């Protein structure tokens, strides 16, 4: 099994070394693809240093920051070039705990897409903001998705589904990409399984969610219902 873990790394210099070490301890067979959008904090340089030290780490440098969705699309295309059978996508800030990956790999044996759900693990929803809860409820309602975590960004999927959902036809660039990915997968009839995860607080750095990104979510999610590309 060729497993590639795709991680966007904009301004995550302080996190990537620790995260890479943890990932290779838990899933030593994995290839790790760091996708850096020309981070001003030197993340790209730090990522290159990691890649020189470990042949299982690869860095994809992009010229500028174009949003989380664009970074993932570029990363997924690169993962296909690397011969990935399975792809995991996750954040670089430890909000997605690597300890859940073995469970994802077990779950993907019987479905096309595994989503780590923040809303299955605990009714108290530790570390999940009110904004995230409301955004998820809004997305579920507008897209009529029977998924508990429509905006979940911790996923594992079979690489062949990327041909089915066609990466070149995505309309979102920010974190709405997570909902669009899941929505397209559901519309295509792909099998989806959710597994419970506890969402963690980021180790270092600042959140990337801005008013612009939140606005994109509000206005673009309804458009997904009418996009038939």
pTM here is 0.90
Judged by DSSP in three states, 41 sits in coil
Q: Domains of the chain, with CATH numbers?
A: 3-224 (3.90.550.10)
What is residue 82's DSSP assignment?
Answer: T
Residue range 78-123, pLDDT digits in tens: 999 999 999 999 999 888 999 999 999 999 999 999 999 998 866 5
- Between residues 190 and 208, which one has the greater pLDDT? 190
Q: For residue 195, how many other CB atoms are within 10 A of its CB?
A: 17
Residue range 207-222, pLDDT digits in tens: 555 555 566 667 778 8
Task: Name the one residue in this structure whose structure tokens are 């975590």.
Answer: 149
């Amino acid at each position: 099994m060729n497993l590639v873990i795709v991680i966007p790394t904009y301004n995550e210099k302080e996190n990537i070394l620790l995260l890479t070490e943890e990932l290779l301890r838990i899933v030593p067979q994995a290839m790790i693809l760091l996708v850096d959008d020309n981070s001003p904090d030197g993340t790209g340089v730090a990522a290159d240093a990691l890649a020189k030290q470990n042949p299982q780490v690869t860095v994809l440098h992009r010229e500028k920051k174009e949003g989380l969705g664009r970074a993932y699309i570029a990363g997924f295309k690169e993962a296909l070039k690397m011969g990935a059978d399975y792809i995991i996508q996750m954040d670089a800030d430890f909000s997605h705990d690597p300890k859940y990956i073995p469970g994802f790999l077990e779950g993907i044996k019987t479905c096309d897409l595994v989503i780590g759900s923040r809303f299955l693990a605990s009714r108290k929803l530790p570390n999940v903001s009110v904004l995230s809860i409301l955004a998820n409820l809004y997305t579920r309602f507008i897209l009529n998705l029977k998924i508990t975590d429509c905006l979940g960004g911790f996923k594992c999927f079979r690489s062949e589904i990327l041909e089915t959902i066609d990466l070149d036809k995505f309309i979102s660039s920010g974190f709405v990409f997570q909902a669009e990915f899941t929505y397209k997968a559901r519309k295509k009839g792909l099998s989806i399984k959710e597994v419970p995860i506890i969402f963690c607080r980021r180790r270092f750095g600042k959140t990337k969610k801005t008013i612009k990104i939140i606005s994109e979510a509000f206005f673009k999610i309804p458009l997904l219902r009418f996009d038939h590309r």
